[in-house]
Chains A and B, each alone.
Chain A
């Protein structure tokens, strides 16, 4: 049973577009929701994270929207660039447990 479901599996946008990646979770005990970015041959790196006490968090061109009642959260990338082409993973964890459940990943391709 997958604890965090992520969509779409892949996404192609033009430079300057706003790709949106969605995640849904079931366990209401989750209280930390990070997004990781992974380039080929590299390990994932933290992009941005949110806790359920806020509905939105923005860092640079990256924004997380969080809907606690729907148990969904999403990543928006403003003014996307070819350098943003990577695989993005959402994740979730519970307070007191350093154990993360990852989504299946979204491969983003930003065309010049």
Chain B
């Protein structure tokens, strides 16, 4: 069974640009969450989608947005990039939308903002 797939794995952008990251969950998983991982802050929750609806949202500015498609694939977008947005962005899928199961993480998309 294929795991969570994130693309692209690495990308470099400059301040002010925008970026879109993609996540394909494990087949059958309907919940997709996004986390930002940085050395100083650890893993911080961005948002969670279930059946194309945002169910939970973290404390990030409106520049961070996401969506989920009918096939459960998800994208997140960061507009007007800032240097502090440099991080590993992790996508996680789970089989249910409640905290009754584990999160399956992808290997992440490493974003560098210059």
Contacts and interface: CB of A to CB of B under 8 A. Distances in A.
A104 B38 CA distance: 10
B7 to A, nearest CB: 14
Interface residues of B, number: 29
A102 B55 CA distance: 19
Contacts, number: 69
Nearest to A94: B99
Contacts of A99: 33, 45, 48, 56, 58, 99
Interface string A74-112: 000000000000000101011111111111110000000
State which size class the interface on A falls in.
20 to 34
Taking each of A98, A103, A105, which has the highest tally of chain B beta carbons within 10 Å of its own beta carbon? A98
Interface of A: 31-32, 34, 36, 41-46, 49, 89, 91, 93-105
16 contacts: A31-B99, A34-B102, A41-B107, A43-B92, A43-B105, A93-B99, A98-B33, A98-B50, A98-B97, A98-B98, A99-B45, A99-B48, A100-B99, A100-B103, A102-B44, A105-B43
Given A36-B105, A94-B99, 12 more contacts: A34-B102, A43-B4, A43-B92, A43-B105, A95-B99, A96-B98, A98-B96, A99-B33, A99-B45, A100-B33, A100-B45, A100-B103
Interface of B: 4, 31, 33, 35, 41-45, 48, 50, 55-56, 58, 90, 92, 94, 96-100, 102-108
